[in-house]
Amino acid sequence: MIDLRSDTVTRPTPAMRDAMANAPVGDDVYGDDPTVRRLETRTAELLGKEDAVYMPTGSMTNQAAIRAHTEPGDRVVMDIGSHVVRSEGGGPAALSGVTVHPIVGERGLFTAAELRVALGVAHSGSPATLTPPATLLCLENTHNGGGGSIWPLEELDAVAAMARAAGLRRHLDGARIWNASAATGIPPARYARNFDSVSVCFSKGLGAPVGSALVGSRDFTARARRFKQLFGGGFRQAGIIAAGALFALEHHRADLAHDHEKAARLADVLAQVPAIDLAREDVETNILRFDVAGGAPRFVDACRARGVAMLVAGATSVRAVTHRDVSMEEVRRAGEVVRGVAGG
């Protein structure tokens, strides 16, 4: 099976497994796992922040961030297709008691002007107590639902500046910030500059088996540690998995450019198939989202029967993701299968 469902299907390499087997460990709940601490320190350094907290998943780092930044009843502004809105099981409402204010962005991105409209207009005639107070902005870079889209830096800065001026804290879901940096050459710390917190994942294109980190100021991460524990994320000899994450961070970041190259080659093929609707220029990193005439479920099932796995992302929408565990030759074969099934 050529598995293009997600970059999360990547498995640890023998060298990564060696690093994991030999990792010094302690009890992370007591703060004395040396490998977890090394991972946290290194991640904070790469993101230009004071500290980081290692957690089991990116959903947990996002939700701990929202909980740490808000009070129940607050309003959190984000794109309607964000992972936090669509794929974290209703976490913002269930875990933080907040209202999500969704903005209908373009491929997951929106402008400072659109944010201004969402924030509303204060007027002495309207009691400020009516509206849930907007206290947090969440952005996602790259944007999964948007097809791996990258925030242009000027737009990212402008939206963050508008949020800051309006008194909102700012959280970045940077599950694939490594892909954004690999594609643009802009360092992760620069993307992180205008955010109070950033969530990053090691278990996606970087290829580690488990884990994400939430980075921010020392005060913020101390508060986030409380919610990591509250959400059941206090893990013990977590250094074993942190070693995989650290290995991925140090050895696999540079490989992400190959994943982007593979996605570009697949996009070149798909863009030529009449029954497939794919804007070639929208494929910026390792995620392809495209529409198929005749419906996604039938198409995905037919491709799977011929050895290529992808995800149904909507009635006619399909997601394919390239990663380090598929070769360029496999991507070429996947293109042939897709073309055959779509009748191109």
Ligand X SMILES: Cc1ncc(COP(=O)(O)O)c(C=O)c1O
Pick 213 or 342: Cβ nearer ligand X: 213
Answer for the pair 77, 134: CB distance below 8 angstroms, yes or no.
Answer: yes
The minimum distance between CB 249 and ligand X, in angstroms, equals 15
Candidate ranges 53-61, 114-122, 183-191, 296-304; the one touching ligand X (CB under 6 A): 53-61
Paired tokens of 288:
């392809």
Among residues 35, 70, 179, 212, the one that binds ligand X under rule CB under 6 A: 212
Under rule CB under 6 A, which residues in 110-149 are in contact with ligand X? 140, 144
Answer for the pair 142, 149: CB distance below 8 angstroms, yes or no.
Answer: yes
Residue 287 in contact with ligand X, rule: CB under 6 A:
no
Among residues 49, 67, 75, 83, the one that binds ligand X under rule CB under 6 A: 83
The minimum distance between CB 343 and ligand X, in angstroms, equals 31
C-alpha dist (Å) from residue 257 to 111, 207, 297: 28, 14, 30
Candidate ranges 58-66, 72-80, 105-113, 222-230; the one touching ligand X (CB under 6 A): 58-66
Residue 201 in contact with ligand X, rule: CB under 6 A:
yes
The minimum distance between CB 157 and ligand X, in angstroms, equals 20
Minimal CA–CA distance to 96: which of 114, 123, 69? Answer: 69
Among residues 63, 135, 149, 203, the one that binds ligand X under rule CB under 6 A: 203
Element (H, E) at 329: helix 328-342
Q: How far apart are CA 290 and CA 270, in angstroms?
A: 9
**Which single residue is written with the structure tokens 């939700």?**
63
Residue nearest to ligand X (CB): 58
Candidate ranges 51-59, 162-170, 231-239, 288-296; the one touching ligand X (CB under 6 A): 51-59
Residue 173 in contact with ligand X, rule: CB under 6 A:
yes
Minimal CA–CA distance to 195: which of 228, 217, 222, 226? Answer: 217
Residue 181 in contact with ligand X, rule: CB under 6 A:
no
Element (H, E) at 69: helix 58-69
Pick 10 or 144: Cβ nearer ligand X: 144
Residue 57 in contact with ligand X, rule: CB under 6 A:
yes
Strand order across the beta sheet in which 134-140 lies? 51-55, 212-216, 197-201, 169-174, 134-140, 75-79, 99-103
Residue 194 in contact with ligand X, rule: CB under 6 A:
no
Total interface residues for ligand X by CB under 6 A: 13
Among residues 150, 175, 266, 292, the one that binds ligand X under rule CB under 6 A: 175
Under rule CB under 6 A, which residues in 7-36 are in contact with ligand X? 8
Q: What phi and psi values does residue 70 have, to the nearest 5 degrees?
A: -125, 170
Burial class of 211 by CB neighbour count within 10 A (0 to 12, 13 to 18, 19+): buried
User: Which chain residues interact with ligand X by CB under 6 A?
Assistant: 8, 57-59, 62, 83, 140, 144, 173, 175, 201, 203, 212
